[in-house]
Structure 1
Amino acid sequence: MLNKNIATEKNITDVFTKESALKYCEQQLADRRDIDKVFLLDLLAERLLPNLNYDERITGKLEKETVENLSITRGMVQAGEVIVTKGSVVNDDVFQKLQSYKKAFEDNARVNGNFNLVLLGRFLLVGLAITLLVVFLYLFRRDIYSDNRLVGLILLVITAMLATLSLAIMLQWPENLYFIPYCIVPIIIRILFDTRLALYIHLLVVLIAGFFVPNSFEFAYYEITAGMVSIYTIKNLIRREQFLISALIITASYFVAFLGISFIRQGSISSIEWVDFLPFGASVVLTLLAYPLIYLFEKIFGLTSDITLIELTNTNAPLLREMAFTAPGTFQHSLQVANLAENAIYSIGGNSLLVRAGALYHDIGKMENPLFFIENQISSFNPHDKLPYEESAQIIIRHVSKGLEMARKANLPDIVSDFIRTHHGNTRVDYFYQSFLKNFPEKLIDENIFRYPGPIPFSKETGVLMLADSVEAASRSLKEPDEKSISDLVDRIVKYKLDQDQLKDSDITLKDIETIKTIFKRMLMSIYHVRIDY
């Protein structure tokens, strides 16, 4: 009780309530015969007022102080003291000590000391990792480094993963951090970029995350090995089911690592807690979210993944189906070019899916006037016979610009449209140019009328397509294709492209040129069923 700011303790049984006070008065008046007890008791009941009032504020303050002073520990474990020995029974007391040790270990792993210095330390670690990433991009992937859009995507993926991990640690949910799908990062980067960058970024993410999780070495071993497996299993993504196959192989790698670490820790199969493997399985299932995320990133950042290229190379795609009916000869030519280019680029190193997609769509502009292209003429009638050479050349040249227009309407990716733009480079339409010079030697003519606008190929893939397109088209003019005529044809066309400087920007070496010619010759002889003399 508080009286004039003086606090005293009093047993609650020594304090009267109104009822107990009246009962006490009745007992005291029981022996008095000179007093009207009923009247007096009624008067007391009306006049009796409490002189002790409940103070909610002070009571709440005292309760809070009492709770704060309660001990949350049950005992003490001295440094060096054995908590439990191998083979001994774990009772409630030992289990409580182990749980306390686990909590203390995890708390120390998070924050120890001045919180501002801890934040500074984290900033330095993350800053060093990001700096190394930027240096890597500058030295080895200058194309990505110079594109803020691509750098932004990479930083977004890294930040999202680390933010998810930080939020999980802060909220302590899920309790087991292995539920988080760390392998989603290397899968996304591999599909949208390449294998080397995916592995490098995954290593940086795991190294950073290792400072915020308990048992850092085990965590790093689990996630680095699983990340490497995820990258290896989708190195050449040509089928959708590879995602499921990859998930199964990642699960197997997790399981092998789990067994190995469990054997080292326990030394016995019977003592392994198999339920501890469930977070790894859940993580692999969540990794499948990479599929819709890749689609989302493609649309937001304007990228083209192997998955999109697979969809584009489906011959039931609208543009290809239209070309098969409108310009069947061009469609068959595109299929043959795709086979030639794909085999060549696979041998010299490059994106075979990309070159196949480019080959299938490179001549879609011919659908505007299919009969003006010889592969679609099914009779002896040739519409060019009634046109001036200049006009015929412009119709042929226009299939490039028309193809680009159709590609824009169909929302084809820019990297596929590049094949339409470059497959003729800035070469001349020699047939009509030479025909004009032969028939009108006295006239002066602007050579650019007979020349494609370009640009020339600027990658291995576009360079190989140019060669495959010219070789396949020229091979159709061979009256009696044999080993020598095919070999001479391939050599002559490749030499012409080199002499015209059409491949100077395509990053194709002389060794690559020889490999490409060998593949073209072998495939053309197979197409025309040429027997090789032994």
Structure 2
Amino acid sequence: MARLKIKYKSGYKGGKYAPLFRYGMMLASVVLITMFLPKQPRFRYEFEKGKVWMHEDLVSPYNFSILKTQAELDKDRENILKSIYPIYNQNTQVAEQQLAQFDTALPERWQTAGLDTLDENMATYEQVGKQLLSDIYKRGVIALNNKFQSDRTNYNFTLLTDNVATQRNTAEVFTVETAMEYARKTIGNRSAIGHKDWLVDAVSNYITLNYLFNEPLTARLEEDALGNISTTRGMVQRGELIVANGTTINNEVYQKIESLRKAYEEEARIGGNWTLVVLGQFFLVGLVVSLLFVFIYLFRKDIYHNNRLIFLILIAITGMLLALSWAIKIKLPSLYYIPYCIVPIIIRILFDTRLALNIHLLMVLLAAFFVPNSFEFVFLQLSTGMVAIYSIKTLVKREQFLISSAIILGTYLTAYLGMALMRDGSFNNIYWSNVAPFIFSVLLTLLAYPLIYAFERVFGIISDVTLMELTNSNSKLLRELSYKAPGTFQHSLQVANLAEAAIYKIGGNTLLVRAGALYHDIGKMANPQYFIENQTKGYNPHDGLSFEQSAQIIISHVSKGVEMARKNQLPEVIIDFIRTHHGTTRVDYFYQSYIKSFPEKFVDEDIFHYPGPIPFSRETAVLMMADSVEAASRSLKEPNAQNINDLVDKIIESKLAQKQLINSNITLKDITEISEIFKEMLKSIYHVRIDYEGNKKETVSLKPQDGIV
């Protein structure tokens, strides 16, 4: 493929010290990440339950204890708690107080009820009531605790009476309800009591708890007992074979290997050389960052030479790895709470798919050195990261974030379910509570949207979402353009259609080129009547000006456009289209007119040239060609197929001859395809019919169309 001579141009290089600053940022990022990464050696083997052991035979290098599984620890905890009897204190004063109050209040209640007028003996009632209360308090009144009932109604407890402990069961004592039922039954059996309900009501007012639950002491006993639970079961002796090559890792073997891993890392943490651990981490982090920068240098030189964008990328990577280090340090219950997909989403939207995938791959591989079950971690994060990148290939609507989040969550759940079934071969061992971190992580991923906006504002870059907003014709600047310079506005719309179709064909950012096309001529609003597309018939303000003045007014729309764009806070990438859409071409109409009118005078060509710069990207190059072709096509007297073909070829050949495209990453094949797109679209615009007998070639007469000719 023939390729034009390409010169790279970046939007920002930062001067002669930019490379030093760039490498300084890289080194600072590596040092910062290394400082905060967990400082612990890594077990050399990867293993999973249910998989075949693919390494050499594993022989124990020393004696170590076999750790209990979480299920075993939970079972021990349950058994311990069942063995602890709740403690109750007997309040001996309650019975005395309640009997005394009953004895004191009974005469008044007797008189109030009018029983003193009847043939009833109050002493009998008093004796029966006091005996009944005495029997109840002697047996004891307790409040049952649901915590200790579990699947049974009654339970054992320890009763403390004057610091003397006795073992009792709740079946042997009363609750308030059963005590009242006992009182009702006992009084009902007394024939000497005529007003049974009255006495039951009187006695019930003095039934209360005298066995009180001692929660602090019970909790202390439980805590002491739980603290004595052994976390190990059995020993593996030095030289003992733990697992042989080719053996399937069952539950027992898995627990032995896991116990060896923890013992190894603990021993290395205590006895290892901390400086060497840090040095190893520095090498790993440095390698990852270096690989990233090699990729950027080879495939995205525009980013490599822009220190602001390098700084943004390093912030994203460093921030995520520091968040992971923090989560490991505080022993977060699950590392999947960390929204790892947020970085590839941000990089994809602000840059491109390849860079996002490369950064995510390197970050996940580096993180795998510091997380448990690293293979599962890598598989889950790579899968969901790829899905996150693919699901927002073109982000043009806000709801795509929600759709992408749902797809990411679905990927997490599918991968987790698949790994769990493959590992255990049963639904019974799937812990659905582990799904919560995935949901939380996906919700945090939605923070990518405000972060993208913040990065755009701070680093002066632009995303597809912002480009969509800029291409809205109801935006303030475009509304003003359509009102002040309607001809220019229509011209910009046509240029946008041509450029968008061409860049879609050869590959590039269609949203960017469309936005650039819509704003490239906003400078004409300063003097709209000086541009032919805005002039009414019969009046041309250039008639009263010299050729030099006219040329300067035409040329000034570029600088005025840049000024308006910056005043309205348009992104720099859009301003680049304004600055480059004429490159360093000449306002040929006024130049040739000057030569014809003053052949004897010296001509300062700089007066008739645009200041540049020339286009330095595929998008800006396509816009330059589309702008010239669309404007020139308006001067065709007879826009037939032949004339349109000749016009497009002439305009593009002129740009090549003036070396306006040498800094653009564009090939001759691309230019041929662009030319064909322009021809077909212009024929559609002018409703050209195909003339099979041949068309008469017409001489193209170009007018002062914004310096096109």
Which category describes the TM-score, using the shorter chain as reference length? 0.7 to 0.9
Query: Which fold has the larger relative contact order, with Cα–Cα distance below 8 Å and residues 6 or more apart in sequence?
Result: 2
Q: How high is the sequence identity, in percent, across the aligned residues?
A: 63
Q: Bigger CA drift: 487-496 or 427-436?
A: 427-436
CA RMSD of aligned residues (A): 2.8
Would the alpha carbon gap of residues 481 and 128 (structure 1) be closer, same or farther in structure 2, given more than 3 Å must change?
Answer: same
Q: 1:78 aligns with which of 235, 245, 257?
A: 235
Match of 2:416 in 1: 258
Match of 2:308 in 1: 149
Q: Aligned-pair distance for 1:152?
A: 2.0
Is 2:467 the partner of 1:309? yes
Match of 1:400 in 2: 558
Asked whether the equivalents of residues 341 and 356 of structure 1 are also in contact (C-alpha less than 8 Å), the reply is yes
Q: Distance in 2 between matches of 1:387 and 1:251?
A: 67
Match of 1:159 in 2: 318
Would the alpha carbon gap of residues 124 and 426 (structure 1) be closer, same or farther in structure 2, given more than 3 Å must change?
Answer: closer
Would the alpha carbon gap of residues 363 and 190 (structure 1) be closer, same or farther in structure 2, given more than 3 Å must change?
Answer: same
Is 2:485 the partner of 1:327? yes
Asked whether the equivalents of residues 344 and 388 of structure 2 are also in contact (C-alpha less than 8 Å), the reply is yes
Q: Distance in 2 between matches of 1:192 and 1:108?
A: 43
Match of 2:607 in 1: 449
Structure 2 counterpart SS, 1:76: strand
Asked whether the equivalents of residues 242 and 256 of structure 2 are also in contact (C-alpha less than 8 Å), the reply is no
| Counterpart residue identity of residue 373, structure 2 | N
Asked whether the equivalents of residues 485 and 525 of structure 2 are also in contact (C-alpha less than 8 Å), the reply is yes
Match of 2:434 in 1: 276
Asked whether the equivalents of residues 368 and 374 of structure 2 are also in contact (C-alpha less than 8 Å), the reply is yes
Q: 1:181 aligns with which of 339, 342, 347?
A: 339
- TM-score, length basis structure 1: 0.79
Q: Which has the larger radius of gyration?
A: 2
Q: Bigger CA drift: 190-199 or 71-80?
A: 71-80
Match of 2:289 in 1: 130
Q: Bigger CA drift: 117-126 or 152-161?
A: 117-126
Q: Distance in 1 between matches of 2:609 and 2:376?
A: 63
Q: Distance in 2 between matches of 1:312 and 1:302?
A: 15
Q: Aligned-pair distance for 1:81?
A: 9.5
Is 2:387 the partner of 1:229? yes
Q: Aligned-pair distance for 1:387?
A: 1.6
Is 2:632 the partner of 1:436? no
1:342-393 deviation line (CA, Å, top 9, x unaligned): 1111111212121111111110000001111111113321111222221111
Would the alpha carbon gap of residues 196 and 271 (structure 1) be closer, same or farther in structure 2, given more than 3 Å must change?
Answer: same
Match of 1:200 in 2: 358
Q: Which consecutive residues of structure 2, in runs of 5 or more, have no partner in the other structure?
A: 1-223, 244-250, 693-709
| Counterpart residue identity of residue 356, structure 1 | R
Structure 1 counterpart SS, 2:235: coil
| Counterpart residue identity of residue 460, structure 1 | R
1:204-224 deviation line (CA, Å, top 9, x unaligned): 110111111111101100001
Match of 2:405 in 1: 247
Asked whether the equivalents of residues 238 and 306 of structure 1 are also in contact (C-alpha less than 8 Å), the reply is yes
Asked whether the equivalents of residues 110 and 212 of structure 1 are also in contact (C-alpha less than 8 Å), the reply is no
| Counterpart residue identity of residue 338, structure 1 | A
- Would you tell me which structure has more helix in proportion to its own residues? 1
Would the alpha carbon gap of residues 240 and 367 (structure 1) be closer, same or farther in structure 2, given more than 3 Å must change?
Answer: same
1:29-74 deviation line (CA, Å, top 9, x unaligned): xxxxxxxxxxxxxxxxxxxxxxxxxxxxxxxxxxxxxx9xx85626
Would the alpha carbon gap of residues 377 and 283 (structure 1) be closer, same or farther in structure 2, given more than 3 Å must change?
Answer: same
Q: Aligned-pair distance for 1:109?
A: 6.5
Match of 1:6 in 2: none
| Counterpart residue identity of residue 230, structure 2 | T
Q: Distance in 1 between matches of 2:266 and 2:387?
A: 29
Asked whether the equivalents of residues 396 and 465 of structure 2 are also in contact (C-alpha less than 8 Å), the reply is yes
Is 2:425 the partner of 1:267? yes
Structure 1 counterpart SS, 2:234: coil
Structure 2 counterpart SS, 1:516: helix
Q: Aligned-pair distance for 1:269?
A: 4.3
Is 2:476 the partner of 1:285? no
Q: Aligned-pair distance for 1:180?
A: 0.9
Asked whether the equivalents of residues 234 and 242 of structure 1 are also in contact (C-alpha less than 8 Å), the reply is yes
Would the alpha carbon gap of residues 111 and 395 (structure 1) be closer, same or farther in structure 2, given more than 3 Å must change?
Answer: farther
| Counterpart residue identity of residue 330, structure 1 | T
Q: Distance in 2 between matches of 1:508 and 1:207?
A: 35
Structure 1 counterpart SS, 2:575: helix
Q: Bigger CA drift: 112-121 or 309-318?
A: 112-121
- TM-score, length basis structure 2: 0.60
How many residue pairs get matched? 455
Would the alpha carbon gap of residues 435 and 226 (structure 1) be closer, same or farther in structure 2, given more than 3 Å must change?
Answer: same
Asked whether the equivalents of residues 337 and 468 of structure 1 are also in contact (C-alpha less than 8 Å), the reply is yes
Would the alpha carbon gap of residues 81 and 75 (structure 1) be closer, same or farther in structure 2, given more than 3 Å must change?
Answer: farther
1:482-522 deviation line (CA, Å, top 9, x unaligned): 22111111111111111111111112111001000011111
